C-alpha cells in the first residue's frame, strides 16, 4: 500500500540546504508585497480590484494544497470539495440568515476543518497515489451533491452573496480587502505553525513516521491533523471566493477546480510564503483573464506550466551545479 | 526484588515474520541505574528486540513490563509518553528542520499546548517553545554540538547526525533510553566523548540499553551485557564474564567482520 | 409476493447484463491504468483525455473534418498517433519516474490538460457522433435483449483482454513486465531494461484506452469530456481491483459496471459520483490490496 513513499518535493534545490530553509522563511519580499497590495486599490481600476480579490482566494486555495504537500507529503486533487463547503457556508448564511462574512468565515474555517478530518479518518491508512485517487473521487462527487441539494444550495443556478462586512464601505473595496486580510492571516498562521510544536512533529512525521511515533506523535494523528488544516484553509478559500466573486455555483467547484489548485501549488513550488502563494493564485486567476478570448488555450497552458515547473524542479539542481561549476572554473 | 521493580523486562518474547523466527522466546531485564549492552552478529535480532520494546513490532508471544506495568498493546506513541525513548540505527531526522528543531521534537511529548497556540502568538505557546528550545540547547551542548543549532541535517557529516539523534533521545529526560548503534559513523574522539556523555547520563533511575558493534565502547561503559545470536540469548553478565564466555568468543570469531 | 420477486428478477437480469457489457469497457480502461501502475508505480491521469483525443482523431479522419478516410484506416492512424503520444509522454516523464512516482503522477495531469486543450482547439466544444461500423442486430435470449453492439463489445473485450493476458503470461516481454512489477531493482540487476518495459506498458495502455473509448462512445456521443468521464469509472474499477492486479481490474470493471447499473436503477440516478466515491473509499479501506488479494496464484 505504501509503496510510493518517495518525497514529491522535487522542487528547486531541495537537495541543497539553503532551500529547505527558504521554503517558509519570512522574507522582505513578503512585507513589501503586502504593503503594495494594501495600497493597490487606490492606484488601479475596478476590474483589476475584482480580479485581485479572486486571486487572493485562489492563493489561499493554493496554500491549502501546498500545506498538504509540505506537512503531509501528500497530493490532493480534491480540494474543490473543501472550497465548496466554505463557499456555500458563506452563501447560505448570507441568503438565508442575512449574516455577513464576519460570521460565516469562521464557520467556513470550522466546516472545512471538520470535513478535512472527516475525510482523513476513513482514508487515514492511505498515502501517495491511493490518497490522490480518493481525493479525486471526492472532487467528482461535489457538483452532483450541490446540484441535488438545490433546496439549500440553489442548485445549478447557485446563490448570490450580497451582505457587506462594513456597511457603507464600497463593495469592491470590501471584497478586495477581505481577501487580502484572509490571505495574510493564513500565511501568518502557517508561519506560526512552522515554528510550533505541532508543526515540528508533523514535519518529522512526514519524513520518518516511525521516528515521530517513537517520540509520541501517532501517524494517524499527523495525517488527520494535516488534512484538517488543509481542509480548513480550503474552506477559507471557498469563503473568500464566494465573497470576492459575490456568487457561488456548482460550476466553480468541479474536478477541474481541484486540478487547477494543484497546478497553482506546483507553479508556486509548493511555497507557503505570501509571495509564493500569490504567484500560484495569480497564475490561476490572470491566465484565464488574458486568454478569455480563447478558452481552449487555458488547459493547454496550465498543462504546460505544470509540466514545465515540475521539469524545472527536476533539472534545476543539475543546472545550478553546472553553472556553479563553470563559475568556479572561471 | 531489587532492580526488577524499576526495570524494563521482557519475558518469553517471540517474534516471527512469515515463518522466520527473529526472536525465539527470550527473557531480558534491563535495570535502572545500569547501562545494558546488547551485542551479537548482524541479524541476531537486536533491532527487532528494540522494536518490540518500543511497540513498533508486536511480538507474537511474551510480555513486556516496565515498573511492573504491562506495556503490551500500547502504541509506540503511548510508550514514548511513559518515557521510553529510542535512537535509530538509520538516522531519522527531518531534513526540513534545523538541528535545534529536530532535537526539540524529543521534548515535545512533555508539552501540551493546543492548536490555537500553534497558530496564534499566545503567551503559553511562546513560553512552551522557549522552554523546548532551552532544553534542546542544553542537550546539544551536552553532546558537544553547541554552535550547530541552526544547521540543517544536510549540512552535517553522518557522525554529527548520529549525535543529534542521541541528543533528541536524551533531551526529554527519558526513563528508558534505547540507543541503536550510537557510535556508528563516529570517529575515535567522538566515540570517547559519547562514552563519557553516556556514563554521565546513567543516573540511578534511568534504564539505558545500547546496541553497539564497537566492542571497546560496550565493554567499557556497560554494567551488563546480553549476547544475542539467531534470536536467542547465548550469554548474559558483566563485561568480564561475557569476555570469558567461550560461546561468545566462538560467535565472534566465526563472524569477525566487526 | 412471489410476483414482486419475479419482477425484480425480470429487471435484475437485463440490468446485470448491460452492466457487465459496460463493465468490460471499464475493465479495458482500468487494465491500461494498471499496466502502467504495475510497471512504473505511476497513475496515469492523462489516460482518459488522451483516449478521448484519439476518439476525436478517428472522428476527424473519417468524417471529413480533417481527412476523409475509411473507418478502419482512421482507427489505424489514430492508434499510431496515440502510440506516438504515449511515447512522448513517457519520454518526458521517465526521468521523474525514477525520482518520485508521485511527481510523475502529477505531471500526467499536465498531459491530460494538454490533451484536453488540444481536443478543444482542433475539434471545438461541440458534440459529435462516432458510431461503430457494425450491423444493426438484436435478439431476445432468456428474457435478455441482446444487441449487436453488446456482442461486439463482449467479443472485442474478450479478444483484447485474452491477448493481453497471453502476452503478459507467456511472451518474453510479458515475463519481463511481470518481473519488473514484482521487483524493479532485482529485475534491473538481472539485466532487464526498465525503460523499455515501462514504454511497453504505456503503449499497450494507450491502445487499450482507444479500444475502450471507441466502444463506449456509441452508447452516448462524443464530447471533450465523455471519454475522460468514462475513464473515471475505470479508475474506480482499477482501485477495486487493487490497482496492481490485471485480473483484479477485470473483475473490478465488471463489478463497477453492474453495481452502477443497479444503483442507478434502484436507488438514484443523481448520486452516481457520490456512489463511486463511497465505493472507492470502501474498496481502499476494506480491500487495500484489491478484491482478489487473497485469491492469489495468478501470474498476471
Q: Which residues in C lie closer than 8 A to residue A144 (C-beta atoms)? A: 270-274
- Last residue within a domain, chosen from B107, B125, B156: B156
Structural domains of chain B, count: 2
Q: Are residues A189 and B168, on separate chains, in Cβ contact within 8 Å?
A: no
**What are the φ/ψ torsions at residue B37 (nearest 5 degrees)?**
-95, 145
Q: Which of A67-81, B83-97, C182-196 has the lowest mean pLDDT?
A: C182-196
Q: Are residues C102 and A6, on separate chains, in Cβ contact within 8 Å?
A: yes
Q: Are residues B154 and A210, on separate chains, in Cβ contact within 8 Å?
A: no
Specify whether B70 is located in the same domain as B99: no
Do A60 and A237 contact (CB within 8 A), yes or no? yes
Judged by CB atoms within 8 Å, which residues 186-245 of A form the interface with B? 189, 192-193, 195-201, 203-204, 206-208, 210-218, 221
Do C113 and A302 contact (CB within 8 A), yes or no? yes
Q: Which three cell numbers stand for residue B244?
A: 570469558
Query: What digits encode the pLDDT tens for the residues A210-258?
Result: 999 999 899 999 999 999 999 999 999 999 999 999 999 999 999 989 9
Specify whether B12 is located in the same domain as B69: yes
The strand pairing partners of B207, in sequence order, are B176
Q: In this structure, is residue B150 part of a structural domain?
A: yes
Do C77 and C56 contact (CB within 8 A), yes or no? no
B123 touches A at CB < 8 Å: no
C181 touches A at CB < 8 Å: no
- How buried is C179 (Cβ within 10 angstroms: 0-12 exposed, 13-18 middle, 19+ buried)? middle
CATH code assigned at B218: 3.40.50.300
A136 touches C at CB < 8 Å: yes
- Do B and C touch, 3+ Cβ pairs within 8 Å? The answer is no
Do B208 and B180 contact (CB within 8 A), yes or no? no
Nearest chain B residue to A21, by CA:
B96
Query: What digits encode the pLDDT tens for the residues B45-87?
Result: 898 999 999 998 999 999 999 988 899 889 999 999 889 999 9
Specify whether B178 is located in the same domain as B79: yes
Q: Which three cell numbers stand for residue C85?
A: 503520444
Q: Which three cell numbers stand for residue C10?
A: 425480470
Could you give the CA distance from residue C148 to residue C247 in angstroms, rounded to a whole number? Answer: 26
pLDDT band at C224 (very low <50, low <70, confident <90, very high): confident
Q: In this structure, is residue B89 part of a structural domain?
A: no
Q: Is A318 helix (H, G, I), strand (E, B) or coil?
A: helix
| Residue A15 to chain B, least CA–CA distance (Å) | 8
Specify whether B178 is located in the same domain as B242: yes
Specify whether B115 is located in the same domain as B239: no
Range of the domain at B232: 7-83+174-254
- How buried is B254 (Cβ within 10 angstroms: 0-12 exposed, 13-18 middle, 19+ buried)? exposed
Q: Which three cell numbers stand for residue C237?
A: 474499477
Specify whether B58 is located in the same domain as B18: yes
User: Of B80, B119, B128, which has the smallest distance from its Cβ to A215's Cβ?
Assistant: B80
> What domains sit in chain C, N to C, each tagged with a CATH number?
2-286 (1.10.3470)
Query: What digits encode the pLDDT tens for the residues B120-135?
Result: 999 999 999 999 999 9
The strand pairing partners of A159, in sequence order, are A248
Q: Which residues in B lie closer than 8 A to residue A209 (C-beta atoms)? A: none
Q: In this structure, is residue B2 part of a structural domain?
A: no
Instruction: Report how far apart, in Å, the C-alpha atoms of C188 and of each of A6, C54, C184, C282 are.
Output: 19, 33, 6, 35
pLDDT of residue A18: 42
> ipTM of this model?
0.89
**Is residue A221 within a helix (H) or strand (E), and if so which, with residue range?**
helix A219-245
pLDDT of residue A329: 44
- Where b means 16+ CB within 10 Å and e means fewer, B142-175 reads bbbbeebbebbbebbeeebbbbbbbbbbbbbbbb
Nearest chain A residue to C44, by CA:
A129
Q: Are residues C102 and A128, on separate chains, in Cβ contact within 8 Å?
A: yes
Could you give the CA distance from residue B64 to residue B51 in angstroms, rounded to a whole number? Answer: 12
Strand ranges (DSSP E) for chain B? Answer: 7-17, 20-31, 35-39, 61-66, 69-70, 84-86, 176-180, 207-211, 224-229, 232-237
Could you give the CA distance from residue B29 to residue B11 in angstroms, rounded to a whole number? Answer: 8
Q: Are residues C288 and A125, on separate chains, in Cβ contact within 8 Å?
A: yes
Is A17-329 in CATH node 1.10.3210?
A: no
Could you give the CA distance from residue C249 to residue C261 in angstroms, rounded to a whole number? Answer: 18
Q: Which three cell numbers stand for residue A247?
A: 456568487
Q: Are residues A262 and C288, on separate chains, in Cβ contact within 8 Å?
A: no
A123 touches C at CB < 8 Å: yes
Q: Which residues in A lie closer than 8 A to residue B92 (C-beta atoms)? A: 204, 207-208, 210-211
Average pLDDT over residues B105-109: 93
Collect all residues with Cβ–Cβ distance below 8 Å to B252 and sequence separation of at least 6: B41, B258
Do A258 and A80 contact (CB within 8 A), yes or no? yes
| Radius of gyration of chain A, Cα coordinates, nearest whole angstrom | 20
Considering the entire predicted model, what is its pTM?
A: 0.89
Q: How do the domains of chain A map onto residue ranges?
A: 17-329
Amino acid at each position: 500500500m505504501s509503496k510510493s513513499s518517495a518525497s514529491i518535493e522535487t522542487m528547486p534545490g531541495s537537495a541543497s540546504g539553503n532551500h529547505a530553509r527558504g521554503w517558509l522563511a519570512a522574507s522582505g519580499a513578503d512585507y513589501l508585497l503586502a504593503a503594495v497590495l494594501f495600497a493597490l486599490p487606490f492606484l488601479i481600476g475596478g476590474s483589476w480590484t475584482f480580479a485581485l480579490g479572486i486571486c487572493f482566494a485562489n492563493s489561499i486555495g493554493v496554500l491549502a494544497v501546498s500545506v498538504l504537500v509540505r506537512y503531509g507529503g501528500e497530493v490532493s486533487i480534491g480540494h474543490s470539495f473543501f472550497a465548496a463547503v466554505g463557499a456555500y457556508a458563506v452563501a447560505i448564511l448570507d441568503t438565508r440568515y442575512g449574516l455577513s462574512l464576519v460570521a460565516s468565515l469562521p464557520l467556513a474555517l470550522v466546516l472545512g476543518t471538520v470535513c478535512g478530518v472527516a475525510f482523513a479518518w476513513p482514508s487515514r491508512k492511505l498515502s501517495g497515489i491511493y490518497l490522490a485517487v480518493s481525493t479525486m473521487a471526492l472532487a467528482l462527487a461535489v457538483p452532483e451533491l450541490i446540484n441535488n441539494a438545490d433546496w439549500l444550495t440553489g442548485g445549478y443556478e447557485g446563490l448570490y452573496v450580497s451582505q457587506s462586512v462594513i456597511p457603507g464601505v464600497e463593495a469592491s473595496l470590501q471584497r478586495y480587502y477581505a481577501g487580502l486580510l484572509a490571505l495574510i492571516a493564513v500565511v501568518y498562521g502557517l508561519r506560526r505553525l512552522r515554528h510550533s510544536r505541532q508543526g515540528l512533529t508533523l514535519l518529522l512525521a512526514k519524513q520518518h513516521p516511525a521516528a515521530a511515533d517513537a517520540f509520541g506523535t501517532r501517524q494517524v494523528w499527523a495525517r488527520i491533523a494535516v488534512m484538517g488544516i488543509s481542509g480548513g484553509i480550503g474552506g477559507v478559500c471557498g469563503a473568500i471566493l464566494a465573497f470576492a466573486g459575490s456568487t457561488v455555483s456548482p460550476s466553480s467547484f468541479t474536478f477541474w477546480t481541484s486540478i487547477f489548485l494543484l497546478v497553482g501549488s506546483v507553479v508556486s513550488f509548493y511555497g507557503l510564503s505570501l509571495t509564493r502563494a500569490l504567484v500560484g493564485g495569480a497564475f490561476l486567476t490572470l491566465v484565464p483573464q488574458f486568454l478569455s478570448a480563447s478558452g481552449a488555450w487555458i488547459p493547454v497552458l496550465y498543462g504546460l506550466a505544470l509540466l514545465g515547473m515540475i521539469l524545472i524542479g527536476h533539472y534545476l539542481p543539475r543546472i545550478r551545479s553546472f553553472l556553479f561549476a563553470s563559475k568556479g572554473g572561471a | 526484588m531489587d532492580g526488577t521493580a524499576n526495570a524494563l523486562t521482557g519475558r518469553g518474547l517471540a517474534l516471527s515474520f512469515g515463518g522466520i523466527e527473529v526472536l525465539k522466546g527470550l527473557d531480558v531485564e534491563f535495570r535502572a541505574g545500569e547501562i545494558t549492552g546488547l551485542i551479537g552478529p548482524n541479524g541476531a535480532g537486536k533491532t527487532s528486540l528494540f522494536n518490540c520494546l518500543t511497540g513498533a513490532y508486536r511480538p507474537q508471544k511474551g510480555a513486556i513490563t516496565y515498573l511492573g506495568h504491562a506495556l503490551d498493546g500500547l502504541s509506540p506513541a503511548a510508550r514514548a509518553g511513559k518515557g521510553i525513548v529510542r535512537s535509530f540505527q538509520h538516522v531519522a531526522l527531518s531534513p526540513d528542520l534545523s538541528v535545534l528543531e529536530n532535537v526539540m521534537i524529543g521534548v515535545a511529548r512533555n508539552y501540551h499546548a493546543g492548536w490555537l497556540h500553534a497558530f496564534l502568538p499566545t503567551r503559553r505557546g511562546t513560553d512552551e517553545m522557549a522552554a523546548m528550545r532551552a532544553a534542546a540547547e542544553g542537550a546539544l551542548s551536552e553532546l558537544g554540538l553547541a554552535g550547530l543549532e541552526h544547521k540543517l541535517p544536510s549540512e552535517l557529516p553522518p557522525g554529527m547526525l548520529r549525535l543529534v539523534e542521541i541528543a533528541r533521545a536524551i533531551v526529554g529526560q527519558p526513563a528508558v533510553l534505547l540507543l541503536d548503534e550510537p557510535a556508528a559513523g563516529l570517529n575515535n574522539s567522538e566515540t570517547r566523548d559519547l562514552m563519557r556523555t553516556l556514563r554521565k547520563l546513567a543516573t540511578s533511575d534511568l534504564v539505558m540499553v545500547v546496541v553497539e558493534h564497537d566492542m571497546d565502547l560496550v565493554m567499557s561503559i556497560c554494567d551488563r551485557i546480553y549476547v544475542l545470536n539467531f534470536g536467542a540469548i547465548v550469554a548474559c553478565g558483566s563485561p568480564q564474564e561475557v569476555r570469558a564466555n567461550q560461546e561468545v568468543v566462538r560467535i565472534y570469531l566465526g563472524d569477525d567482520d566487526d | 409476493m412471489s410476483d414482486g420477486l419475479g419482477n425484480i428478477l425480470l429487471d435484475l437480469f437485463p440490468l446485470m447484463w448491460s452492466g457487465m457489457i459496460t463493465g468490460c469497457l471499464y475493465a479495458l480502461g482500468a487494465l491500461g491504468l494498471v499496466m502502467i501502475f504495475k510497471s512504473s508505480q505511476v497513475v496515469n491521469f492523462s489516460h482518459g483525455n488522451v483516449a478521448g483525443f484519439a476518439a476525436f482523431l478517428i472522428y476527424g479522419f473519417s468524417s471529413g473534418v480533417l481527412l476523409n478516410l475509411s473507418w478502419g484506416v482512421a482507427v489505424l492512424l489514430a492508434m499510431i498517433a496515440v502510440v506516438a503520444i504515449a511515447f512522448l509522454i513517457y519520454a518526458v516523464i521517465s526521468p521523474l519516474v525514477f525520482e518520485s512516482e508521485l511527481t510523475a503522477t502529477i505531471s500526467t495531469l499536465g498531459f491530460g490538460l494538454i490533451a484536453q486543450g488540444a481536443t478543444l482547439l482542433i475539434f471545438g466544444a461541440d458534440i459529435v457522433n462516432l458510431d461503430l461500423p457494425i450491423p444493426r442486430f438484436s435478439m431476445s435470449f432468456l428474457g435478455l435483449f441482446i444487441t449487436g453492439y453488446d456482442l461486439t463489445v463482449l467479443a472485442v473485450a474478450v479478444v483484447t483482454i485474452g491477448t493481453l493476458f497471453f502476452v503478459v503470461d507467456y511472451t518474453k516481454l510479458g515475463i519481463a513486465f511481470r518481473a519488473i512489477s514484482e521487483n524493479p531493482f532485482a529485475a534491473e540487476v538481472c539485466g532487464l531494461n526498465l525503460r523499455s518495459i515501462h514504454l511497453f506498458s504505456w503503449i499497450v495502455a494507450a491502445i487499450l484506452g482507444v479500444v475502450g473509448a471507441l466502444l463506449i462512445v456509441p452508447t452516448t456521443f462524443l464530447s471533450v469530456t465523455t471519454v475522460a468521464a468514462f475513464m473515471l469509472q475505470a479508475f474506480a474499477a482499477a482501485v477495486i481491483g487493487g490497482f496492481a492486479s490485471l485480473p483484479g481490474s477485470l473483475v473490478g470493471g465488471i463489478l463497477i459496471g453492474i453495481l452502477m447499473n443497479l444503483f442507478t436503477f434502484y436507488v438514484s440516478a443523481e448520486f452516481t459520483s457520490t456512489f463511486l466515491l463511497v465505493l472507492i473509499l470502501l474498496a481502499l479501506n476494506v480491500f487495500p490490496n484489491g478484491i482478489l488479494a487473497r485469491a492469489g496464484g495468478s501470474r498476471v
